[in-house]
Amino acid sequence: MFSWHKVPFARVLIPYTIGICICYWFDAGTAPAIILFSITCFLSLFARYIFSATAHYRVRLFQGLFISIVFLCLGYIRSLAFDDTKTPGHFFSIKHGTSYSITVDDAVVEKKKFYRCYARVTAVSDTAGNIHPSYGFVLVYFNKKHITSKPEVGQTYYMKAGASVISGPANPEEFNYSRYLAFRNIRHQLFSDSQCIIKSSSTEHSIYSEALRFRDHCLSVISRHIPSPGEKGVAEALLLGYKDDLDPAITQAFSRTGTLHVLAVSGMHAGLIFLLIGFLTRPLEKKKHGRWLQFTLLLTGIWFYAFMTGLSSSVLRATVMFSIMSLGKTLHYKANIYNTLFASAFILLLYNPFYIFDVGFQLSYLAVLGIIWLQPKLGRLYAPPNRPVKYAWELLTVSLAAQVLTFPVSLFYFHQFPNYFLISNMLIIPLTSFILFGLIILLALSWITPAAVLAGKGLLYAIRFNNYLVTEIDSLPYALSEGFYIDVVQVTLLYAAVICLITFFSSGKKWILFLMLTCVFSFSALTASACHKAARQKIFVIHSIKGHDVFSCIEGRKAYILADSGFFNDPSLFAYHISPYLLSKGVSETKKLNMEKSFVSTNIRIKKGIGFQFFDNIMTIQHSCIKNTRKRCFMLIKTIDSPNTGMLQCNKNQVIISNAISRSALKNLNKEYFKLYGKPLKLNKKATVFILH
């Protein structure tokens, strides 16, 4: 039977997490939380010292409530304190800052025209030349024309530029990169100019910078002994979590088969290292003080692996959890595994409360929770006759248990479900575990050239076979179900149904089965309502994509995408900017139309060089208004019904300007428009959604 006394950290973690969520969605400042915290502490002390000892049992419910409110307030206050932009001394609070002294604080990502990294601001110069010591983190873009070499972690740069706030997504349902960075306390960005110089020749050293340098050394060893690009990228991702060299086709195959987690260093990788070291040091348990030596070796091994991966957050989460488990075992403390899990989560959320919104954090803890809660129940359903069957059965139940508790979150974020995840995990996990240990041996033998060359060749063929298995499973019919779009309410209903179903099989109580059926019915009703709404919709969208004019005309569950050929030649633009919105609207059929060609359909017409019409709305070129402008200026206008002419008929209404227009062209357009209509031009350069009735 479940008891809260066995998992005290759950009683702390739940209200603390609620406080974080309240701060994120309803930020009302620190005053309400401090007042509520003070009142709660006072009432708790009052109840403790006023009531008699015999009455303490009767008021224990209120004591528990007081403790929950205290940690709720702590979660709220910690979330507010995490935002360092609200504290004095932050670089953005210094007025008229023109120059910044920054130190590269994270791994540098190389793009075609620039280097991108996170940096720490140490000083700001204002217009008067005064230097102000400051702090804060910033996203930096180094133009390759302005620096001679790739920046390194720890290097200090002097940048003459203005910091700007990172803007949110320009298109509906687009990935919110600004929110992702805000959860890491990064809210501003800097762009280098010609006066970006290295301030000092020395490089700052820290644990993190040394970890990244060691990771780069490991990458060079892998690159030297596994030169094939496809296999090298998988090896780097599998051992170190480095994904810059991954082939997009291989990444997609892993994702579609439900095995992408093996390419992101996480709890599975740290767990394998933990098990390996535990197996090798098991003889020490029988010797005097041997368990402390084993504990030291376990801690050294898993933290060294975290160091080798560049101290990635996913590995750190698992490392903290395994460290707590090892300490409890060494002290002969029979720790509750759930309490250990919640304790590690609480420690990490104390460090960064917004980890709770991180996809990796959610998936890793849900997977571990599924394994420790559900896997033992599934394991008891069958008694394997021998050791090989037992190993296969354990692997099957572990994969199933992890998938059961992670699939609602996966549907919410990734909108797809791998149908053959059991087959792929049973084949890929053992093979990748072997490859992981082989890569560690390769690094250990890297100074012995013949042995390293031999290990590299063996790993090359093993990874090649692994990639072959993944692509073959991905090519099977019905390998992937996609197009799912569910909201937070539906995710909650799915989890409620799953928990009720598992509890029903454990207890056999009929009311739990009824509750599960209620959750399933509610989920189905919400899905049916969304499908009905999608079938009746008519929406016109102007997307904001630099260098392109892109429009979506949605009719029911079918969408027409109108754009230039340059946009269609880059599939990544459609996948990043357009696809999420179409998915949210339940679009199941997409037709791409090139605006450089004429097209005629029932409710949409394109006239080459003039514009297009969708129902009674037209985006067209107003020739009298673009005398001195580029032809990417479009006007949203109303049509005059004239079916006999078959031409695009229009009347002035609202003006939508493409992002592709230059400032000078925009200025000329404004003058022309004022001459024609006697009023200023109302512009909208953001993504715009029009619901047509």
Whether residue 397 lies inside any domain: the answer is yes
Q: Give the pLDDT band (50/70/90) at residue 490.
A: very high
How high is the pLDDT of residue 167? Answer: 85
Tell me if 402 is assigned to some domain: yes
Task: Clarify whether residues 74 and 106 are in a common domain.
Answer: no
Rg (CA), the chain: 30
- pLDDT over threshold 80, residue 77: yes
Q: What is the structure's pLDDT at 560?
A: 92
Residue 647: is its pLDDT beyond 90?
no
Same-domain check for residues 558 and 623: yes
Of the candidates 572, 559, 564, 571, the one whose C-alpha atom is nearest the C-alpha of residue 547 is 564
pLDDT at 659: 53
Q: 535: number of CA atoms within 13 Å, CB side?
A: 6
The reply to whether 340 falls in a domain is: no
pLDDT band at 526 (very low <50, low <70, confident <90, very high): very high
Nearest to 370 by CA among 408, 402, 336: 402
Which token pair is 449? 């050239």
Return the ∠ at Cα 137 (arms to 134 and 141), rounded to 5°.
Answer: 115
The whole-number pLDDT of residue 625 equals: 47
Asked which of 260-264, 327-331, 643-647 is least confident by mean pLDDT, the reply is 643-647
Query: Is the model more confident about 370 or about 325?
Result: 370
Instruction: Please list the residues that pair with 132 across neighbouring strands.
Output: 124
Closest CA to 612 of 590, 636, 629: 636
**Domain that includes residue 503, residue range:** 488-533
For the ranges 293-307, 565-579, 651-665, the one whose mean pLDDT is highest: 565-579
642 and 599 housed in the same domain = yes
**pLDDT at residue 610 in the model:** 67
The CA distance from 479 to 481, in Å, is 7
Reduced to 3 states (helix: H, G, I; strand: E, B; else coil), residue 437 is helix
Question: Tell me, what's the pLDDT at 652?
Answer: 42
State yes or no: pLDDT of 203 exceeds 90: no
> Model's pTM, two decimal places?
0.83
pLDDT at 254: 85
Domain count, the chain: 5
Last residue of a domain, one of 415, 447, 482: 482
Residues 460 and 600 in one domain: no
Last residue of a domain, one of 533, 568, 599: 533
Average pLDDT over residues 188-193: 84
Beta-carbon contacts of 247 under 8 Å, excluding residues fewer than 6 positions away, are 229, 230, 233
Does residue 74 sit in the same domain as residue 110? no
- Whether residue 354 lies inside any domain: the answer is no
Query: Could you tell me if 613 and 506 lie in one domain?
Result: no
Residue 198 — left, alpha, or beta (φ > 0 → left; ψ -120 to 50 → alpha)?
A: beta
Helices (H), 508-569: 510-535, 565-568
- Between 14-23, 189-198, 482-491, the lowest mean confidence (pLDDT) is in 189-198
Same domain, 246 and 391: yes
Q: What does the pLDDT average to over 659-683?
A: 65
Average pLDDT over residues 583-604: 86
> What average pLDDT does the segment 676-686 reach?
62
Same domain, 114 and 215: no
Distances (CA, A) of 196 to 4, 16, 40, 618: 57, 43, 53, 47
pLDDT at 643 (0 to 100): 37
**pLDDT confidence band for 326 (50 / 70 / 90):** confident
pLDDT, residue 524, reads 93
| Of 105, 114, 161, 177, the residue nearest 135 (C-alpha) | 105
Between 480 and 50, residue with greater pLDDT: 480
pLDDT tens for each residue of 594-627: 888 888 887 888 877 667 778 766 666 544 444 4
Dist. CA 118–CA 187, nearest whole Å: 11
Establish if 345 belongs to a structural domain.
no
Residue 678: inside a domain, yes or no? yes
Least confident of 200-214, 233-247, 468-482, 613-627: 613-627
What distance in Å separates the CA atoms of residue 8 and residue 338, rounded to the nearest whole number? 10
Higher pLDDT, 12 or 649: 12
Q: pLDDT value at position 650?
A: 39
Per-range mean pLDDT, top range of 334-338, 535-539, 619-623: 535-539
Domain CATH for 191: 2.40.50
Is 511 found in the same domain as 493?
Answer: yes
**Residue at a domain's end among 172, 204, 236:** 204
One domain for residues 511 and 494 = yes
**Whole-angstrom distance, CA of residue 408 vs CA of residue 513:** 20
% of the chain with per-residue pLDDT over 90: 7
Residue 368 lies in a domain: no
Check residue 37 and give its pLDDT: 67
Same domain, 439 and 509: no
CA-based nearest residue to 415, from 473, 470, 482: 482
* Among 186, 188, 143, 160, CA closest to 97: 160
Q: What average pLDDT does the chain have?
A: 79
Q: What pLDDT score was predicted for residue 663?
A: 66
CA separation for the pair 256, 362 (Å, rounded): 20
pLDDT category of residue 332 using cuts at 50, 70 and 90: low
Question: Of 16-25, 442-451, 525-534, where does the model show the most confidence?
Answer: 525-534
Q: What is residue 72's predicted lDDT score, i.e. its pLDDT?
A: 84
Instruction: Give the model's confidence band at 518: pLDDT under 50 very low, under 70 low, under 90 confident, else very high.
Output: very high
Query: Is residue 355 a part of any domain in this protein?
Result: no
Q: Which amino acid is at 380?
A: R
Q: Which residue has the higher pLDDT, 245 or 643?
A: 245
pLDDT of residue 127 exceeding 80, the answer is: no
Mean pLDDT, residues 221-244:
85
Q: Between these two residues, 178 and 45, which has the higher pLDDT value? A: 178
pLDDT, tens digit (0-9, with 9 covering 90-100), for 368-418? 888 888 888 888 888 888 888 888 888 888 888 888 888 899 899 888 888
User: Are 142 and 102 in contact, with CB atoms under 8 Å apart?
Assistant: no
Q: Which residues make Cβ contacts (< 8 Å) with residue 14, sequence separation at least 6?
A: 68
507 plus 463 within the same structural domain: no
Cα gap 417→408, rounded to integer Å: 10
> Residue 59: which pLDDT band, with cuts at 50, 70 and 90?
low
